[in-house]
Amino acid sequence: MLLRRLRPALAQRAGRNDIPAVVWKEPYLETCCRSALHRLRLAGRVGRPPGMKDGPCLARLSGMGLCRERADGWFEITTAGVERHCSEILKKTDAALA
């Protein structure tokens, strides 16, 4: 809502009228969570064990659907997590993945 109110002022200040109403499509990932997502991707099918320092980030990523907690308590990356890793960490677009 704040962005919607500030958008005209920001566009005028920048001399642009093409600033989109919605700038972000996905929730922001803190640096620690980005690192946890990268470690999850590197771990592959093995996953990440519970009780590590990145446990709170893994729980947060799980809530966002980017990873899941298995029955054994370990975390593994989901398809959505792989896509987010590619777009945000590797900076690859859909066109670059094809």
pLDDT of residue 6: 53
CATH number of the domain that 87 lies in?
Answer: 1.10.10
* Residue 55 lies inside a defined structural domain of this protein: yes
How many CB atoms lie under 10 A from the CB of residue 20?
A: 9
**Is 91 within the bounds of a domain?**
yes
Name residues of the chain where pLDDT drops below 70.
1-26, 93-98
Q: Is 9 among the domain residues?
A: no
Q: Residue 7 falls within a domain, yes or no? A: no
DSSP 30: P
Containing domain of residue 49, as a range?
A: 26-97
pTM comes to 0.68
Total domains present in the chain: 1
Asked if residue 68 belongs to a domain, the reply is yes
- Residue 49 domain-assigned (yes or no): yes
